[in-house]
Amino acid sequence: MSASAVTPDTPQSLRRVALVGNPNVGKSVLFNALTGSYVTVSNYPGTSVEVSRGNATIADEAWQVIDTPGMYAVHTITEEERVAREILLNEKPDVVLHVLDARNLERMLAMTIQLIEAGLPVVLVVNIMDEAERMGLSFDLSLLQQRLGIPVIAAATARKRGIEEIKTAIAGLGTSCGLPISYSRLLERDIAEVSRLLLGSYVLSRRAMALLLLQGDEEVSGLAAQQEGERYPALAEKVREIAFERRESFHLDLSMERKEIVTRLVRGVISLPDKRRETWGSRLSTLAVQPLTGIPLLLLTLYFGLYKFVGDFGAGTLVDFLEGELFEKLFNPWITNLLTGWIPWWWLQELLVGEYGIITLGLRYAVGIILPIVTTFFIFFSILEDAGYLPRLALLVDRGFKWFGLSGRSVIPMVLGFGCSTMATMVTRTLETVRERVIATLLLALAIPCSAQLGVILALLARTPGGLLVWIACMTLLFVLVGVLAGKLLPGEAPMFYMELPPMRLPQLSNVLTKTYTRMQWYFLEILPLFVLASVLMWLGKITGGMEKLVNAMTPLMQGIGLPKEAAIAFIFGFFRRDYGAAGLYDLQSKGLLDGRQLTVAAVTLTLFIPCVAQFLMMLKERGWKVSLAIFVFVSLLAFGSGYLLNQLLVTTRLLG
Amino acid sequence: MKLSEHAEEILEAMWIAIEEEGAAFYDPARMQLPEDDAACRELTAKSLVELRHGMLYFRQEGREEGKKTIRRHRLAERLMMDVFNIKGDEGDDKACQFEHLLNEGVDTKLCTMLNHPATCPHGKPIPPGDCCIEARQQGDLGVVPLTEFRSGQEGEIAYIQTDDSKKMQKLMAMGVLPGNRIILVQSFPSYIFRVGFSEFAIDTALAREIFVRKIER
């Protein structure tokens, strides 16, 4: 999200509060509740994980609120967790808000004690109380507060419960840092021996530093090496010595001791119901994860969500209205008249309101065609996300995806790819291995049409149902073929799959709208300039005659796959945005220049063809130029190769007349 | 019965051909044995096998001995793979050398330590020994990988067996800690288990690394 990159440097006077916790505990909802809807999303410097920052006024003071990626423990494993901890280490927030899920209080408290032990100013937010209570759990949080020595607040942020209390706690947090936590004598001795050698100054307590060093945390080792200088070898030696004594069991021992501490902490704090209560969410979840009911449910979701809502409503009704009625009939004639009367120069008229004008073409495509399709898709996707459906989808397809060298986790970028492949390419960074990321990027570039493209193609081929079937068959075949080949040929280990399944819940309208809005905002900042650029280039091409030459140059290629030379324009459009190219085909079809066979071949080739410029730039950013270039060449060859073969096949078999 | 290593290998090959592949006899030419092989003579002399028209047949005692030999071989393979983490050809190789040491009750001890495994790392059955039958009769259901659980079955996590420390920490962070209660919710297409009030989905490879103690209800 380069457009709105924000540096972490903020004025010293601004106080900061960081939200940390496991994934899926409602951090982002709390973030939105604290900051209002004002969000700046930024890349964290040096990495590609996003961190949201926003401003809030708490007790008449200005605060910056930082929402961090989910983390399971202070000892970090994944890229996201590292970024979350970086914020704690580098930005020294004045308050650390640990958000956890009340239903899993016992499991998640392990991180609270790590934060307290690190000497951070912690406030504990026990969130999702409403659902916990519905399940029959009850809590004595004042007892927990007394035992932990830090403020503990009950909240249900999605229901706006507890927000005021959280604000009060943030504003009123003193310097007390929680009660001391002690381990077994053996572990305490190890900690003491290591922390004795830590003489530099650290953000985290020496105790926490010692434990992280003993866990073999590379980043923390680096930090210690830097701070201790020539004293470091002695420290490293000590750590090695203890690590050797305790061998493999250190992590386990530590986890078990923490578990014990937590068990003592929660004694009398949680009362469980006699019997596990079935909620409608858990029943729906059961239906969603069993293949026998899950697959029909998936098909239903796709049919109503993608086909009916995005396809019919977004790409049909809304586009017809915005593009057909508003732009073609009202806005374009009006603005054309106005500007041609007003501007004497022909070239400027052309640039603004001509055939490829910024306003008449660029704006019309962006607002009239792309906006409604992408908006409806993002609404659909946000609903799936908030309902907790995506992890269930992931587990359903994991076995199949393993054939492509991917884990079920990749289904999330894949589905998102049906919305915007550029955004999906960015999301591939959440995959665990580089190999998975490369395969996912390739498949996104090749066979996943984005919503705008999908909408236009569905509309195009609606009148040739045979063509639609051929198109679907081609995409599926190539997806599977290239996927299996990539899975076989790319070196590296098979991915592992693990995922927490959040409970299924009814999505909240306000949350869905906020998410959609944020995504739309990003989308428009990224693409609108490209639409304008595309229009300008087209215009340049037209007035200099360059376009004519390019079209002529591409004619043999077009003839090779059996298309009229006018189709070249659509392909050139397609380079700027895939959906833009599809929209170009739409124009050709309305002029009656393409028959069923040609339309099908064009749609297949164009869907496979080079990803749009934005996606290519994102690939460069995420995967580096070597991989991106290789994917680019491969995809182009495969697109035209497939177009050629398909055309030959259709001509010989006369399948589509 | 103390046999030469070579004789034990012949018994194993015979067991696989006759007992598992359903042949009536074993052709010594498959092992490139000379017609007058010393190990063959040893086996016939001990009345374990019979040589008819150049083909090897089991006698009753030989069949028993073959079963024990193949059992030792496959137990050795499990040991290499599960405990020493020596995989692939090297593991097979080492197992071949190791199996000959598993005499005189050592195999029983190993089998108990490995918790009476039913299959070798290649998926072939390990013939149960007396210790396995006894354990089953005592109702010692023991510790099994999560993959052996039925949907809806409840147990207690015994240990995690993985050589990847990150994987181990990931699992521990998810609440997969020895002593915690675990319920297997579903096993296809992915494994879903519940710990506390959280549900997690994992693939078969990970599920194989979580060992659970069955709880009789």
Partnered with residue B56 across adjacent β-strands are B26, B51
Whether B203 and A402 lie within 8 Å, measured CB to CB:
yes
* H or E stretch at A635: helix A625-653
* H or E stretch at A40: strand A40-43
Burial of A22 (0-12, 13-18, 19+ CB in 10 A): buried
CA distance A44 to A49: 6
Chain A residues within 8 A of B201 when measuring between CB atoms: 289, 391-392, 394-395, 398, 408, 497-499, 501
CA distance A622 to A429: 8
Q: Give me the residue spans of the domains in chain A.
A: 12-172, 185-271, 291-653
A48 is in an annotated binding site: yes
CA distance A413 to A394: 11
Q: Using 50, 70 and 90 to split pLDDT, how confident is the model at B38?
A: confident
The backbone torsions φ and ψ at residue B28, rounded to the nearest 5 degrees and listed phi first, read -60, -20
CATH assignment, A12-172: 3.40.50.300
Whether A500 and B205 lie within 8 Å, measured CB to CB:
no
CA distance A308 to A303: 6
pLDDT at A577: 58
CB A17 within 8 A of CB A170: yes
**Residue A369 to residues A62, A104, A372, A581, B93: CA-CA distances in angstroms?**
41, 45, 6, 12, 66
Q: Does B175 touch chain A (CB under 8 A)?
A: yes
CA distance B118 to B140: 15
Closest by CA position to B194, among listed A285, A111, A629: A285
ipTM over 0.90: no
Q: Which of B168, B197, B202 to mutate to test the interface with A (most CBs of A within 10 A)?
A: B197
pLDDT at A196: 92
CA distance A364 to A323: 7
| Phi-psi sector, A72: left (phi>0), alpha (psi -120 to 50), beta | alpha
> Which of the 8 DSSP states describes residue A156?
B
Distance from CA of A27 to the nearest CA of B (A): 18
Q: Does B173 touch chain A (CB under 8 A)?
A: yes
SS3 state of residue A520 = helix
Strand A95-101 with A15-20, pairing: parallel
CB atoms within 10 A of CB A586: 19
> Do B1-140 and B143-214 have matching folds?
no
Q: Which of B190, B194, B195, B204 to mutate to test the interface with A (most CBs of A within 10 A)?
A: B190
Residue A183 tokens read as 């381990």
Whether B198 and A500 lie within 8 Å, measured CB to CB:
yes
CA distance A350 to A364: 15
Mean pLDDT in residue range B176-197:
90
pLDDT digits (tens, 9 = 90+) for B158-179: 888 877 777 787 788 778 888 8
Chain A residues within 8 A of B160 when measuring between CB atoms: 252
CATH assignment, B1-140: 1.10.10.10
pLDDT at A589: 79
* H or E stretch at B186: strand B181-186
Integer-rounded Cα radius of gyration of chain A: 28
Whether A103 and B197 lie within 8 Å, measured CB to CB:
yes
Q: Give me the residue spans of the domains in chain B.
A: 1-140, 143-214
Q: Does B85 touch chain A (CB under 8 A)?
A: no
CA distance A143 to A166: 18
Closest by CA position to A53, among listed A61, A520, A44, A428: A44
Query: What pTM value is reported for the model?
Result: 0.76
Closest by CA position to B57, among listed B17, B29, B30: B17
Partnered with residue A51 across adjacent β-strands are A42
pLDDT at A610: 66
CATH assignment, A185-271: 1.10.287.1770
The type of residue at A493 is E
Positions of chain A with pLDDT lower than 50, given as ranges: 1-10, 43, 45-47
Q: How far is CA A203 from the centre of its chain?
A: 31
CATH 3.40.50.720 assigned to B143-214: no
Instruction: Give me the long-range contacts of A81-89 (CB less than 8 A, separation at least 24).
Output: A82/A47, A82/A219, A83/A44, A83/A47, A83/A49, A83/A51, A84/A20, A85/A219, A86/A44, A87/A18, A87/A44, A87/A51, A88/A18, A88/A20, A88/A118, A88/A120, A88/A203, A88/A204, A89/A203, A89/A204, A89/A223
A410 is in an annotated binding site: no
pLDDT digits (tens, 9 = 90+) for A125-152: 999 999 889 888 999 999 999 999 999 9
The type of residue at A107 is R
CA distance A482 to B214: 43
Whether the ω angle into residue A45 lies within 30 degrees of 0, i.e. cis, is no
Chain B residues within 8 A of A104 when measuring between CB atoms: 175, 196-198
Q: How far is CA A175 from the centre of its chain?
A: 37
> Which of the 8 DSSP states describes residue A370?
I
CB atoms within 10 A of CB B129: 19
The type of residue at B66 is G
